[in-house]
Amino acid sequence: MLDIKNLHVKLEEEDKQILKGVNLSVESGKVHAIMGPNGSGKSTLSYVLSGRDGYEVTEGEAHLNDTDLLDSEPEERAAAGLFLAFQYPVEIPGVGNMTFLRTALNAQRKARGEEEISAGDFLKLVRGKAKSLKIDADMLKRPVNVGFSGGEKKRNEILQMAILEPKMCILDETDSGLDVDAMRLVAEGVNALRDEGRSFLVITHYQRLLDHIKPDVVHIMADGRIIETGGPELALEVEKNGYADLLAKHGISEVMA
């Protein structure tokens, strides 16, 4: 599904290398988790994969199935099935959540040569998905993320994911800011989407989320690289001991991480 090879990324504006050779493969139907110290490059990886400006790829490649991600516009990546649930969802005053969702869904359908969804079907679709995420009608009517609480924003990301039905879902700290109940709702939302043909890359700092969304593979990222890959037990080990030993093992000082 997702293949990242030797990805090197620096900031466009300054001479700062952030990703220093990321290698990562996520197979179809699998859930991979990425953990790692603050500033290790997790969000950067997710932004670069989804095509945000401001980064320069100096080496390496990234494919989503047959799509060369690094050679595509953000909207093309989305149409190819990539989805990023943002660590910090963006507020768009003046654009209603429903308009936003319908515009996005129809744009993706159009890009794939499918017909636009009818207003009635769309309404039904959104209502159904919103209900299971406990997103009320009022939140759907309001401008995108404006005045939403931190947790509401995160749930809104998952709602978008549920409606757009992407193939490759990247969740960047979707658990941060969620209360216990919201976390369960979000995890249920994610689990409901788990499917043979869909993969997840879950970026998180806490085992808590992984209790609900059981990962197949766990990666540890530090200093712009994946330094360790293992099973779910790796997350438990980090939860218990922190990153110090792992970093030391790979010769990374904690300041750099």
Ligand X SMILES: Nc1ncnc2c1ncn2[C@@H]1O[C@H](COP(=O)(O)OP(=O)(O)OP(=O)(O)O)[C@@H](O)[C@H]1O
Q: Does 156 bind ligand X (CB under 6 A)?
A: no
Look at residue 23 and give its three-state secondary structure.
strand
Binding mask of the shown chain, residues 75 to 114, with x at each position contacting Mg ion by CB under 5 A: ------------x---------------------------
Name which of 74 and 232 has its Cβ closer to other proteins: 74
Q: How far is the CB of 2 from ligand X (least distance, A)?
A: 17
SS3 content of the chain, % helix, strand, coil (to 5): 40, 30, 30
The CB-of-106 to other proteins minimum distance in angstroms stands at 9
Binding letters toward ligand X, positions 20-49, x by CB under 6 A: ----------------x-xxxxxxx-----
Q: Does 256 bind ligand X (CB under 6 A)?
A: no
40 contacts Mg ion (rule: CB under 5 A)? no
Q: Answer yes or no: are the C-beta atoms of 7 and 59 closer than 8 Å.
A: yes
Secondary element (H or E) of residue 159: helix 150-164
CA angle 52, 208, 48 (to 5 degrees): 10
Amino acid (1-letter code) at residue 33: A
CB-neighbour burial class of residue 255 (10 A; exposed 0-12, middle 13-18, buried 19+): exposed
CB 25, min distance to ligand X, A: 20
Residue 197 DSSP class: T
Task: Please work out, in degrees rounded to the nearest 5, the angle formed at the alpha carbon of residue 64 by the alpha carbons of 150 and 208.
Answer: 35
> Shortest Cβ distance from residue 237 to other proteins (Å)?
33
Answer yes or no: are the C-beta atoms of 61 and 22 closer than 8 Å: no
Question: Which residues in the 158-217 window bind other proteins by CB under 8 A?
Answer: 160, 164
What residues contact residue 209 under an 8 Å CB cut-off, 6+ apart?
A: 174, 175, 183, 187, 202
Of the candidate residues 6, 27, 52, 54, the single one contacting ligand X (CB under 6 A): 54
| Cβ atoms of residues 145 and 98 within 8 Å | no
Of the candidate residues 5, 29, 70, 92, the single one contacting other proteins (CB under 8 A): 92
Out of 143, 150, 151, 177, name the contact with other proteins by CB under 8 A: 143
77 binds, among ligand X, other proteins, Mg ion, none (CB under 5 to 8 A by kind): other proteins
Contacting residues toward other proteins, per CB under 8 A: 50-53, 73-75, 77-79, 83-84, 86, 89-95, 99-100, 103-105, 107-108, 111, 143, 160, 164
Contacting residues toward ligand X, per CB under 6 A: 11, 18, 36, 38-44, 54, 87
